[in-house]
């Protein structure tokens, strides 16, 4: 039975249902319970923005508050995954991945390959990402491209509550390490979500809306900006097809190529910085695989190659806007 819940509730529900289904699923992180073992409420906080609130009471002993030591508890989660648990580690902000990067890219991602396929590492690392919160350069980055670059990791960036729940359930059941990234601006977004458990498979892009004139590939929060732009463009008679890859590793290249082969025009919208980004990666394989179909140079709408500014006026300029997406679509549409 579908009903409307928020992105944040969808994530909480996925964790709750998987913990009920599988006793090996545990949660670890800073303040994920937020009071555990201290006098008063055991479940006072539920993570920095309250995403895991309520889970301690339902699954006592399986929501573990950790010291403020990302390298320690992410390493512990990776080790626990190798030994039969399915830990979901919450890392607050993706910007903190740096302090535990060895555990992620050189250990978790590599065990299966270093041990001849005999080890599996079913760990999920959840983190918030994205700009727009006046949180400055150390709490606002995207960085999904960094993890996408590393073979052995799977990278998930849900753009709506339905996908958030189904992709998180798939992430927990998956036997490989998964980086699961939640955009802060989407936590309050409401959408239809079935009460039942369900999965959204990895590597299957969503076609958010169909159109024959221009293909827009957009991720995370940018999907919604692309929809806003496409709504305005429709009034000008331009029909945009919007594709949300949902997972950047594995990446559903087929759906993107099939669309570009039909429209001949591509705009990639990526909140990340442009060098070595998903935008440049998607542009590159489309240029290689569908060059003959292209009627105009591919346009990338991204943040500039600078750290996220703290000044509000500059941060607003930094984030790709619906207006810039519209401009890019007009540019590919009007080319020749």
Partner 1 sequence: MSAIHTVTMPKWGLSMQEGKVNLWLKEVGDTIDPGEEIIEVESEKISGAVEASVSGVLRRQVAQPDEVLPVGALLGIVAEKGASDADIDAVIARFQAEFVPPSADDADSGPQTQTVKVGNVEVRYLKLGEDVAGKDPLLLIHGFGGDLNNWLFNHSPLSESRAVYALDLPGHGSTTKVTGVASLDGLAEVVIGFMDAVGLECAHLAGHSMGGGVCLAIAKRAPNKVKSLSLIASAGLGNEINGAYIDGFVAAASRNALKPVLAQLYSDESLVTRSMIDDMLKFKRLEGVDSALATLAGGLFAGGRQAEQLASAAAGKPTLVIWGENDRVIPSSHATAIPGATVKVMPGQGHMVQLEAAGEVNKLIGEFIG
Can you tell me which residue has the tokens 């991945």? Answer: 97
- Binding residue (CB under 8 A) for partner 1 from 196, 288, 291, 305: 196
Closest Cα to residue 91, out of 222, 8, 182? 182
- Binding residue (CB under 8 A) for partner 1 from 34, 166, 211, 322: 166
Q: How many Cα atoms within 13 Å fall on the side-chain side of residue 290?
A: 26
Helices 222-235, 322-334: axis angle to 10 degrees equals 50
Nearest to partner 1 of 235, 336 (CB atom): 235
- Binding residue (CB under 8 A) for partner 1 from 1, 117, 288, 334: 1
β-strand 63-65 against 266-270: which pairing, if any?
unpaired
Nearest to partner 1 of 190, 281 (CB atom): 190
Instruction: For CA atoms 87, 88, 92, 96, give the dihedral sign.
Output: positive
- Binding residue (CB under 8 A) for partner 1 from 23, 98, 201, 304: 201
- Residue 204 binds partner 1 (CB under 8 A): yes
In the complex, the smallest distance separating the C-beta of residue 156 from partner 1, rounded to whole angstroms, is 16
Residues from 277 through 336 that contact partner 1 (CB under 8 A):
none
Catalytic residue among 139, 149, 183, 224: 139
* Bridge partners for 240 per DSSP: 214
- Residue 206 binds partner 1 (CB under 8 A): yes
Q: How far is CA 299 from CA 39, 142, 217, 222, 315, in A?
A: 56, 20, 11, 15, 22
- Binding residue (CB under 8 A) for partner 1 from 23, 60, 98, 194: 194
- Binding residue (CB under 8 A) for partner 1 from 2, 276, 306, 311: 2
Nearest to partner 1 of 23, 201 (CB atom): 201
Residues from 207 through 266 that contact partner 1 (CB under 8 A):
207, 210, 234
Instruction: For CA atoms 58, 60, 63, 66, give the dihedral sign.
Output: positive
- Residue 197 binds partner 1 (CB under 8 A): yes
In the complex, the smallest distance separating the C-beta of residue 234 from partner 1, rounded to whole angstroms, is 7
What are the backbone dihedrals phi and psi of residue 186, each rounded to the nearest 5 degrees, phi first? -95, -10
Nearest to partner 1 of 23, 194 (CB atom): 194
Q: Give Dmax over CA atoms of the chain in angstroms.
A: 70
Closest Cα to residue 167, out of 95, 67, 244? 244
Active site residue 183: no
Nearest to partner 1 of 129, 162 (CB atom): 162
Number of residues that bind partner 1 (CB under 8 A): 16
Element (H, E) at 91: strand 86-93
Which sequence positions are flagged as catalytic? 139
Chain residues that interact with partner 1, rule: CB under 8 A: 1-2, 162, 166, 194, 196-201, 204, 206-207, 210, 234
């Amino acid at each position: 039975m579908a009903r409307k819940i928020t992105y944040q509730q969808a994530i909480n529900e996925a964790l709750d249902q998987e913990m009920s289904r599988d006793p090996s699923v545990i949660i670890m992180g800073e303040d994920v319970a937020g009071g555990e073992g201290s006098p008063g409420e055991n479940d006072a906080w539920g993570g920095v923005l309250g995403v895991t609130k309520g889970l301690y009471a339902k699954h006592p002993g399986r929501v573990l508050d950790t010291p403020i030591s990302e390298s320690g508890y992410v390493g512990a989660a990776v080790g626990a995954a190798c030994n039969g648990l399915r830990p979901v580690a919450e890392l607050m902000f993706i910007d903190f991945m740096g302090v535990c990067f060895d555990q992620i890219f050189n250990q978790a991602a590599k065990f299966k390959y270093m041990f001849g396929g005999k080890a599996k590492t079913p760990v999920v690392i959840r983190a918030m990402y994205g700009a727009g919160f006046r949180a400055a350069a150390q709490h606002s980055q995207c960085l999904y491209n960094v993890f996408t670059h590393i073979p052995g990791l799977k990278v998930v960036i849900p753009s709506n509550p339905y996908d958030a729940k189904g992709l998180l359930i798939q992430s927990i059941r998956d036997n490989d390490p998964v980086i699961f990234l939640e955009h802060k601006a989407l936590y309050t977004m409401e959408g239809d979500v079935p009460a039942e458990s369900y999965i959204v498979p990895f590597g299957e892009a969503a076609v958010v809306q169909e159109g024959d004139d221009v293909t827009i590939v957009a991720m995370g929060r940018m999907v919604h900006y692309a929809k806003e732009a496409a709504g305005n463009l429709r009034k000008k008679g331009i029909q945009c097809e919007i594709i949300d890859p949902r997972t950047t590793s594995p990446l559903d290249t087929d759906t993107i190529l099939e669309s570009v082969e039909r429209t001949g025009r591509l705009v990639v919208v990526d909140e990340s910085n442009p060098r070595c980004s998903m935008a440049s990666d998607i542009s590159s394989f489309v240029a290689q695989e569908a060059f003959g179909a292209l009627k105009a140079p591919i346009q990338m709408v991204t943040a500039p190659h600078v750290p996220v500014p703290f000044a509000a006026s500059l941060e607003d300029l930094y984030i790709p806007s619906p207006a810039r997406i519209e401009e890019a679509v007009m540019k590919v549409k009007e080319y020749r």
